Amino acid sequence: GENVEQHPSTLSVQEGDSAVIKCTYSDSASNYFPWYKQELGKGPQLIIDIRSNVGEKKDQRIAVTLNKTAKHFSLHITETQPEDSAVYFCAASYSGGGADGLTFGKGTHLIIQP
Amino acid sequence: GAGVSQTPSNKVTEKGKYVELRCDPISGHTALYWYRQSLGQGPEFLIYFQGTGAADDSGLPNDRFFAVRPEGSVSTLKIQRTERGDSAVYLCASSLFDTDTQYFGPGTRLTVL
């Protein structure tokens, strides 16, 4: 089955700086890669996703890049703000036109230092 | 509109007891998923429903775990003879059939004493 590795487990950055979280996956058939943000006591919230037919996607301060050959993808957050502090999870799945269960990484605790 | 809702938000039970956890998906979403999240870990897939049928139950850890979705909307996750190792947050998510985006509920925190 799919295996997703995520690094780092904790990331501390100064407010206004950029943050990068990296993930690798094992199953070359995976073609859908979402990123979720989880705040304490809440469920995961989708922040951005990318499919294997594109290499990069951007939404305001958030961007995701995908390298299918190397089987890795990354989340980039620019101009970090205190409200960005949370746990971030990457995930991967294969979806042949329908829905599928996601395989998650172990998460990155992002801390924004004021 | 309303998001995915889960009840109860917290459930404390004793070892050996039976529990039911409920999920109300987003209206119109035909796909529904259950995940389990242990402390400090990412969510772990348990089971996926497409309509009323379980399309993939490969993540259920053993036969003490069972889930139903009789009318293709609300789903119930049932755990028999609970064990302390079952303590976790149980998350439900839903999605439209033709898209992959899964929207999660707030979860039910299960504590087995």
- Asked if A34 and B56 come within 8 Å (Cβ–Cβ), the reply is no
Average pLDDT over residues A40-46: 94
Q: What is the pLDDT of residues B40-87, one digit of tens each?
A: 999 999 999 988 888 888 899 999 999 999 998 999 999 999 999 999
- Asked if A89 and B42 come within 8 Å (Cβ–Cβ), the reply is yes
Residue A39 has pLDDT above 60, yes or no: yes
Among chain B residues, the shortest Cα distance to A97 is held by B98
All residues of chain A having their beta carbon less than 8 Å from the beta carbon of residue B4 are 43
Q: Which long-range contacts (CB under 8 A, 24 or more apart) does A69-73 make?
A: A70/A24, A71/A24, A71/A25, A71/A26, A71/A28, A72/A22, A72/A23, A72/A24, A72/A25, A73/A22, A73/A23, A73/A25, A73/A33
The residue among A82 and B99 whose pLDDT is bigger is: A82
